């Protein structure tokens, strides 16, 4: 469908140039449509941008639901979360780039430039991860610390490491890199003695 094609084109253009530097004409050219046609589907550049954002966030959230949030065992869920966030980001660095940015940026035009949908998904994501943490704490496999803060620490680690991988290349195989980070994060989350640290990462 045309709407879809335009979104795809817009995603490429926004990721390439950022919101400010991207022009509607670039999107139109990339999508092989006329400028006017873009406006038949999206009421403004801003709205188009927001739909791109929301779609990206939805895709990422759907993946997490399937691979992480449906896992009842907290330890398995945590490991899955770490892997998905690190590997997925590696495979979809563009999308990651965007998903990472669910936070205000100095380059951003407005304090909260992200669409409400997007913000809401982020809140739900945090809630879901927090729930995993709480479950793990209840079963005494995770440390007894503030689960929200633990969630945020995890989230921060994902972001900065993903950014680091995106910006610096690395010769080390992905699996090894992921293993190294997993060891650290499990050490942060898991109770000492709870299968931590060595055998955790096998």
The contact set with a copy of itself (CB under 8 A) reads: 14-21, 97-98, 101, 103-111, 113, 143, 145-146, 149-150, 152-153, 155-161, 163-164, 166-167, 180-181, 183-185, 187-188, 192-193, 196-197
* Closer residue to a copy of itself, CB minimum distance, 173 or 193: 193
Please tell me the distance from the alpha carbon of residue 37 to that of residue 28, in angstroms, as a whole number: 8
For 64, 105, 111, the CA distances from 165, given in Å and listed in that order, are 20, 20, 27
Interface with DNA, residue 2, by CB under 7 A: yes
Minimum gap (Å) between residue 163 Cβ and a copy of itself:
5
Q: Which of 35-43, 66-74, 122-130, 152-160 is the region at the interface with DNA (rule: CB under 7 A)?
A: 35-43
CB contact set of 177 (below 8 Å; sequence gap of 6+): 86, 165, 170
Contact yes or no for 71/80 (Cβ under 8 A): yes
**DSSP code, position 199:** G
Q: What residue 33 binds from a copy of itself, DNA, none (CB within 5 to 8 A, per partner kind)?
A: DNA
Q: Which of 8-16, 32-40, 51-59, 115-123 is the region at the interface with DNA (rule: CB under 7 A)?
A: 32-40
DSSP string, 48-71: HHHHHHHHHHHHHHHHHIIIIIT-
Q: Which residues bind DNA (CB under 7 A)?
A: 2, 21-25, 33-37, 39-41, 43-46
């Amino acid at each position: 469908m045309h709407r879809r094609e335009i979104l795809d084109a817009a995603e490429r253009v926004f990721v390439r140039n950022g919101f400010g530097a991207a022009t509607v004409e670039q999107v139109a050219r990339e999508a092989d449509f006329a400028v006017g046609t873009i406006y038949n589907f999206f009421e403004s550049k801003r709205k188009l941008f927001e739909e791109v954002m929301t779609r990206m966030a939805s895709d990422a959230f759907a993946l997490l639901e399937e691979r992480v949030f449906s896992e009842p065992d907290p330890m398995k869920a945590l490991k899955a979360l770490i892997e998905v966030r690190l590997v997925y980001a590696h495979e979809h660095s563009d999308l990651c780039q965007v998903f990472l940015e669910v936070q205000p940026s100095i380059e951003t035009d407005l304090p909260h430039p992200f669409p409400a949908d997007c913000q809401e998904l982020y809140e739900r994501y945090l809630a879901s991860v927090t729930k995993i943490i709480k479950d793990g704490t209840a079963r005494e496999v995770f440390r007894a610390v503030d689960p929200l803060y633990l969630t945020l620490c995890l989230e921060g680690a994902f972001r900065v490491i993903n950014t680091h991988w995106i910006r610096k290349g690395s010769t080390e195989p992905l699996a090894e890199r992921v293993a190294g980070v997993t060891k650290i994060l499990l050490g942060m989350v898991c109770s000492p003695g709870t299968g931590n640290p060595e055998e955790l990462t096998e």
